[in-house]
Amino acid sequence: MTVSSINPRTGLVEEDLGAESTAEQVAATCRAAAEAAVLLAAADRGVRSALLRAAAEELEATRAEILAIADRETALGTTRLDGELNRTCYQLRHIADVVDDGALLEVAVDPAGPTPAGPRPELHRMLVPLGPVAVFGASNFPLAFSVPGGDTAAALAAGCPVVVKAHPAHPATSALTFGCLARAVARVGLPAGTVGMVQGHEAGQALVQDPHIQAVGFTGSLAGGRALFDLAASRPSPIPFYGELGSINPLVVAPGAAAVRAAEIAEGYVGSMTLGAGQFCTKPGLALVPREHAAEIREHLGRALGAAGPAWLLSEGIHRAFRTGVADRAAHPHLNPVRAAGGPAAPVAEPTGYLAEPALFWTTTDDLDEAAELVLEECFGPVAVVVEYSGTADLLAALARVPGSLTGTLHAEEEDAELAAVVLPALASNVGRVVYNGFPTGLAVAWGTTHTGPYPSSTSVTHSSVGASSVRRFQRPVTYQAVPEHLLPRALQAEGLRATPRRLDGESVPTGG
What is the structure's pLDDT at 444? 93
- Looking at residue 343, what is its pLDDT? 62
Residue 475 and residue 136: Cα distance in Å, rounded?
19
For residue 238, count other CB atoms closer than 10 A to its CB. 10
- pLDDT for the residue 340: 86
β-strand pairing of 107-110 with 12-19: unpaired
pTM of the predicted model as reported, rounded to 2 decimal places: 0.95
Count H helices, E strands: the chain?
Answer: 15, 23
- According to the model, what pLDDT value does residue 261 have? 97
Q: pLDDT digit string (tens) for 452-474? A: 999 999 999 998 999 999 999 99
Show Cβ contacts of residue 313 under 8 Å, excluding neighbours closer than 6 positions.
8, 277, 279, 319, 322, 354, 355, 356, 380, 381
Bridge partners, 108 (sequence order): 125, 503
- Buried b / exposed e over 111-141, threshold 16 CB at 10 Å, is eeeeeeeeeeeeebbbbbbbbbbbbbbbbbb
Residue 224 pLDDT: 93
Phi, psi of 468 (to 5 degrees): -60, -45
Specify the pLDDT at position 349. Answer: 52
Q: What residues in the chain have per-residue pLDDT under 50?
A: 348
380 backbone dihedrals φ, ψ, rounded to 5°: -65, 135
Closest CA to 431 of 411, 412, 458: 458
State the pLDDT at residue 351. Answer: 64
The residues assigned a catalytic role are 244, 281
Gap between the Cα atoms of 306 and 324, Å rounded: 22
